[in-house]
């Protein structure tokens, strides 16, 4: 499928066209669309994303962090999630709030990160595994698979990461348009609101992302990244 057809498909999904993704369309929770931009305010396009580089952006609230990454592998649809964007389905976005105890990338430090390099962990059957391209939370060592709908590979996480619904226009410009799966935005804002207000310098931590949300390289978003 060429890019034009693919992006048309995604636009059709939003417009309510009857497509093979109809079930996925029904499953995602729509939030106001936010176009993604780099820190110099240029548009984020599918072609501008380098494989393995993880970014953080705020969606659907400015203070709720998400990962955006072009994976080295395809991320096909699974259940209600339609899969990654682009012709190879490798561009994905997930909430960066761990489903266990809501560890998340904060500006001073992050215990959860996308790992392009091989990471070893024990799977749910106690077998040692080594995978690259996972999202790893070092708080209590939960590991998620962004190439498989954010499913839990290891650790105490009770649920997959919420996936962010993406849309691309004819030029490949990316927008976040909703969320799939169980999200924790309300609980997160309630629990961490006071600290988030200080960290982001805002009075309203429930402010929506607005028309544009900047993506920041993960290693720049958090001063310190804890890797395990
Ligand atoms: S908060 Fe992520 S594993 Fe506990």
If DSSP states are collapsed to H, E and C, what string results for 29-86? EEEEEEEEECCCCCECEHHHCCECCEEEEECCECCCEEEEEECCCCCEEECCEEECEC
| Cα separation, 101 vs 225, whole angstroms | 18
pTM of the predicted model, to two decimals?
A: 0.88
pLDDT band at residue 183 under the 50/70/90 scheme? confident
- As a residue count, the chain comes to 228
Q: How does residue 79 score in pLDDT terms, banded at 50, 70 and 90?
A: confident
**Cβ neighbours of residue 154 closer than 8 Å, sequence gap 6 or more:** 121, 122, 123, 124, 129, 141, 142, 143
Is residue 140 lining ligand 1, measured as CB closer than 6 Å? yes
Sorted by where each starts, the structural domains of the chain and their CATH numbers stand as 3-108+146-152+159-225 (2.102.10.10)
pLDDT at 163: 97
- For residue 11, pLDDT beyond 80: no
Q: Is the pLDDT of residue 4 over 60?
A: no
Environment class of 203 (CB within 10 Å of its CB; exposed 0-12, middle 13-18, buried 19+): exposed
Centre of ligand 1 from the C-alpha of residue 198, in Å: 23
Of 137, 158, 161, best ligand 1 pocket probe by most atoms within 8 Å of the beta carbon: 137
């Amino acid at each position: 499928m060429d890019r034009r057809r693919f992006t048309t498909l995604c636009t059709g999904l939003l417009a309510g066209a009857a497509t093979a993704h109809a079930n996925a369309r029904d499953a995602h929770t729509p939030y106001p669309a936010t176009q993604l931009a780099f820190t110099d305010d240029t548009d984020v396009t599918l072609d501008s994303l380098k494989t393995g580089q993880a970014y953080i952006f705020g969606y659907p609230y400015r203070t709720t962090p998400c990962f955006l990454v072009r994976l080295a592998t395809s991320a096909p649809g699974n259940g209600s999630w339609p899969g990654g964007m682009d012709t190879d389905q490798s561009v994905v976005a997930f909430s960066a709030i761990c489903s266990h105890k809501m560890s998340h990338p904060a500006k001073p430090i992050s215990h959860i990160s996308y790992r392009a390099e091989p990471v070893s962990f024990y799977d749910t059957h106690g077998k040692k595994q080594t995978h690259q391209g996972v999202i790893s939370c070092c708080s209590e060592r939960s590991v998620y698979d962004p190439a498989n709908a954010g499913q839990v590979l290891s650790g105490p996480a009770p649920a997959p990461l919420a996936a962010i619904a993406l849309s691309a226009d004819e030029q490949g410009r990316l927008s976040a348009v909703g969320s799939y799966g169980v999200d924790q935005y309300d609980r997160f804002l309630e629990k961490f609101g006071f600290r988030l207000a200080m960290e982001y310098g805002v009075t309203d931590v429930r402010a929506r992302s607005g028309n544009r949300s900047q993506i920041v390289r993960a290693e720049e978003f958090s001063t310190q990244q804890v890797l395990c």
